[in-house]
Structure 1
Amino acid sequence: MQPIVNEPQSEQELLDRAVNLAGLNLAQLADMAGVSVPCNLQKEKGWAGQLLECLLGAYAGSKPVPDFEHLNIELKTLPISRQGSPLETTYVCVAPLTNVAGLTWQDSVVKKKLSRVLWIPILAERTIPVAERIIGYPLLWSPSAQEEQALQADWEELMEMIALGQIEQITAKHGEVMQIRPKAANASIRTAAVGHHGQPIEALPRGFYLKKNFTQTILRNSTV
């Protein structure tokens, strides 16, 4: 989906656009964008996010930069229950599996993506048809010093495991607020990685994901 509006020129303009979408359902948004609503999102997992990018004027596409690059703001949709709880973890970016020596948190894509985030909750329980899922009120967020410290600690732990050739030992249980999980359309996809003895191996692509407890805290703090 290509954006149908110009890039927003300020945080406030972006937030105003997002506020104007709050309360609408995905069928109404799809109509605005001139696209059809898929019956389910199993094969089109990122569809709602792409739809919002289209309507809000995000032009970064799949580049390793924030969605609103000139504003340094990343867009993240957050499926929630009727009780306001996140329904799933939140994908951040691809995890590098080679040439990781010397990488630092300060220069990481994770830090760039999470420095400033426009969170858009979507009421998206599985019993609600895709077309009827409702856009919630947006939230502009930057991590507090404590939140960034937790993210950095997880990133450094996980990247150290990758550097030591322990990619296959990493599970979703590693990390307090952020985890690494396989990120591939199917199990046959492989990418270059480093083995336990430093040898080249092939592994499933991995991605960084925010755990539900972390995004739950973001939502809870926004309503205080």
Structure 2
Amino acid sequence: MPNVASRELPIEQRQIATPFLWQPTFEQEQTLKKDFEDVLDQVSMGNVEQVDARLGEILQVRPKAANSKALTDAIGTDGSTIKTLRKSFYLRPQFAKQCLQQQFSYLSPT
């Protein structure tokens, strides 16, 4: 569900756009799959600490926690349990923007 907002806008001035179900193209799906598998490869090799937003073409991994004290268990490079920041998958902003532009261009009268 897209929303029009920025940190500068008060909550009452933010807008919710028309919800839609996004379906990736074949090429987008393949890129998402590759990005996801690249992250899984790094995590399975114990390199969870090296996984960051630089990895991935359209899918990125970023810290999920609001602060650096929210840690979770993970497997380190030597196979031992380590504490690390929680991480989540996010679409890169430029890619999300392209998806929104494509979706809403279909709704525009020609």
Separation in structure 1 between the aligned mates of residue 61 and residue 6 of structure 2, nearest angstrom: 24
Q: Deviations over 1:76-103 (max 9, x none)?
A: xxxxxxxxxxxxxxxxxxxxxxxxxxxx
1:163-207 residue CA offsets vs partner (Å, 9 max, x unmatched): 011111122111000111111132112111011111111111111
Number of the residue aligned with 2:53: 172
For residue 88 of structure 2, what is the aligned residue in structure 1?
Answer: 207
Alignment match of 2:18 (pick from 134, 137, 142): 137
Which amino acid counterpart does residue 157 of structure 1 have in structure 2?
Answer: D
- TM-score, normalised to structure 1's length? 0.44
Confirm or deny that 1:159 pairs with 2:40.
Answer: yes
Counterpart for residue 216 of structure 1: 97
Does 2:8 match 1:127? yes
What letter matches 1:220 in structure 2?
Answer: Q
Fraction of identical pairs, as percent: 37
The 5 A counterparts of 1:60-209 are 120-209=1-90
Structural RMSD (CA): 1.3
Instruction: Decide whether aligned partners of structure 1 residues 127 and 182 sit closer, same or farther in structure 2, where only a CA change above 3 A counts.
Output: closer
- Report the TM-score, using the length of structure 2 for normalisation: 0.86
State the aligned residue count. Answer: 105
CA distance in structure 2 between the partners assigned to 1:162 and 1:205 by the alignment: 13
Residues 173 and 221 of structure 1: CA distance in aligned 2, closer, same or farther (over 3 Å): same
Code of the residue aligned with 1:185 in structure 2: it is A
Query: Separation in 1 of the partners of 2:4 and 2:71?
Result: 34
SS at match of 2:60: strand
Distance in 2, matches of 1:214 and 1:153, equals 15
Instruction: Return the offset for 1:126.
Output: 2.6
Q: Compute the displacement of 1:140 (Å).
A: 2.2
What code does the residue aligned with 1:158 have? V
Give unmatched runs, 5+ long, in structure 1: 1-119
Aligned pairs for 1:46-57 (under 5 A) are none
